Structure 1
Amino acid sequence: MDTTLIIMAAGIGSRFGGGIKQLTEMGKHKELIIDYSIYDAMEAGFNKVVFIIRKDIEKEFKEKIGNRIEQYINVEYVYQSLEDIPKGFTVPEGRTKPWGTGQAILCCKDVVKEPFVIINADDYYGKEAFVKLHDFLVSNEAKSDYYNMAMAGFILKNTLSKNGSVTRGICIVDDKEYLADIYETRGIQQVNDKIVCDNAYVQEWITLDHKASMNMWAGYPDFIEYLDKGFKEFLSHLSDFNPKTKEYLLPEIVGQLLKENKTKVKVLETQDNWFGITYLEDKERVQNEFAQLIEQGIYPEKLWK
């Protein structure tokens, strides 16, 4: 079965080089975090990559990443932009940023016709999650009465930064390992052996061992079709929020589908550590983590032969 890895990279800045965290070199041969994700996905069985980028960074992106990856796997590009909205709607005055992760995945509707997994360009997820999500996709199918999905369930303590607070989708999981609810929570950090955060309700029960979403979702093309309908509804109610900043976000979309009993999301636990450069101070730590993985034989020193 064909399966696609969708990589959200539209947030990469146009100033390539120093200061752009997605393009920080992690491996000894200039490998980026994104290289390791694609390598792991290919090992798990994925045979196509779709990059979601902005048109203004296409040339630089291909030079830095895309042209190299095209030698090893089928690659396609789609483009996220602020102006890409349905007929009958207009961009609010003063808005400068695109519409969030939901709109980003919607950009794939014409090129993704097979089961898929979604990831961020600047996150390292580990091998286990790719294998489990790929196995889910090939052993299941789209359903007619609900959106059949899965997500990688990271252990919260394995996703934290020592250099400041983070934002995570904090998950409530039922006894059958399905997602019951998800709370997009900001200001998360560990203080001694406890977690503190900006959400007073979540603060009452959150622990180091809670499951967290890192925006690694698995689904079928019918979910992308739903995003098209949902985006129009989102824009119709935009005036209820701040039109300049409100985003169409995957955790909120999935959360609403859960409330309406229109989706079932299998939470596939992974014990792997998540790595990412949330802060500049994270760079050296993450580079050291990759060095250790290479020393342990999990990755070759030169990723692409």
Structure 2
Amino acid sequence: MSKPTLLILAAGMASRYGSMKQTDAFGPNGETIIDYSIYDAIRAGFGKISFIIRREFEEKFRDIFEPKLNGRIATDYVFQDFDLTPFGIDKEIERAKPWGTAHAVLSARNQINEPFCVINADDFYGYEAFEKMSKFLTAGVKDDTFSLMGYQIDKTLSDYGSVSRGVCQVDDEGNMTGIDERIKVYFKDVDGQKRIFYEEDGKETELPRSSRVSMNFWGFTPAVFAETEALFKDFVAANEHNPKAEFFIPLVADALIKSGKARFKVLPTSEKWFGVTYQEDKPIVQESIARLVRDGVYPEKLF
């Protein structure tokens, strides 16, 4: 079994952050969040890093990452753009940004021939998650058996406000049967205890602390590309006049589960997730990483 590839979603414009957070410095020696993911992936046995980026980002990414990774792990670049003809769609559709995360993954279909993992560029996932995913992807999984990391919900929330989370429905065999998108999830003090709730239509409902959520950390075989391309064609046809419609990975997962074409194993992890959306998140992420360095989880200088 060949080593799996790590596919990093890094084509976003980070409009809410105000600059390219994919290449911003968060570690004590200017490390990006991506650096920590790559460091963990190398330790976990991944064999290649593929960056999904916009073509105009290529020079900057090469300047930042090639000197660090040369001789450590293979790298390549996948470009996400607006051209639909490679997917057999003979249309020009004007949009402000490309078609979303599942479209980004589909853009890599001609460059990946081995099991692979998909992550966000601006999320910190922790070593255990990469280790478990690597073991899953190298265990000779069937073409129709995919996976995702299931983070414990209380290890993904903020003390500073509500967040959106995809809460996984999981059967007794550890397979995901669906994802409930909860838009407003938050901690709430109840009789001196920090408990978790979500709000929908003005109604407040408690969630168990053991609930597993998807943080866009997926495991696939190349068989996913053909299924995703068929779904993408249908999605474009249905949304060609909706410039804000996005073709997300959970939409593909939901369609494959409901059609019986694939299973998704939820791999539980005890790691604490953190990420960056706004500039206000930056010092929190920097302190979280600094704490991990002080505790000896990561060296002060990664590469």
Who is 1:139 aligned against?
139
Query: How many residue pairs get matched?
Result: 296
- What are the Cα deviations for residues 122-172 of structure 1, in whole angstroms up to 9, with x where unaligned? 1110011111111111113234xxx21111000111111233332222101
Alignment CA distance shift 1:256-1:198 (3 Å)? farther
Q: Superposition pairs for residues 19-30 of structure 1, below 5 Å?
A: 19-30=19-30
Unaligned runs of 5+ in 1: none
Who is 2:60 aligned against?
60
Q: Contact conserved, 1:184 with 1:251, CA < 8 A, in 2?
A: no
Q: Superposition pairs for residues 73-112 of structure 1, below 5 Å?
A: 73-85=73-85, 86-93=87-94, 95-112=95-112
Alignment CA distance shift 1:33-1:265 (3 Å)? same
Alignment CA distance shift 1:205-1:39 (3 Å)? same
Secondary structure of the residue aligned to 1:170 is strand
Q: Superposition pairs for residues 89-238 of structure 1, below 5 Å?
A: 89-93=90-94, 95-143=95-143, 147-192=144-189, 193-197=194-198, 199-200=200-201, 204=205, 206-238=207-239
Normalised TM-score (structure 2): 0.90
Who is 2:275 aligned against?
276
Alignment CA distance shift 1:202-1:32 (3 Å)? farther
Alignment CA distance shift 1:173-1:201 (3 Å)? farther
| Greater than 6 Å deviation, 4+ residue runs | none
Separation in 1 of the partners of 2:282 and 2:142? Answer: 39
Who is 1:46 aligned against?
46
Unaligned runs of 5+ in 2: none
RMSD: 2.3
Q: For structure 1, which segment, 201-210 or 53-62, has the greater mean C-alpha deviation from structure 2 after superposition?
A: 201-210
Question: Which has the larger share of strand?
Answer: 2
Separation in 2 of the partners of 1:266 and 1:254? Answer: 11
Identity rate of aligned residues, in percent?
Answer: 38
Separation in 1 of the partners of 2:55 and 2:237? Answer: 26
Separation in 2 of the partners of 1:201 and 1:263? Answer: 35
Q: For structure 1, which segment, 46-55 or 181-190, has the greater mean C-alpha deviation from structure 2 after superposition?
A: 181-190
Normalised TM-score (structure 1): 0.89
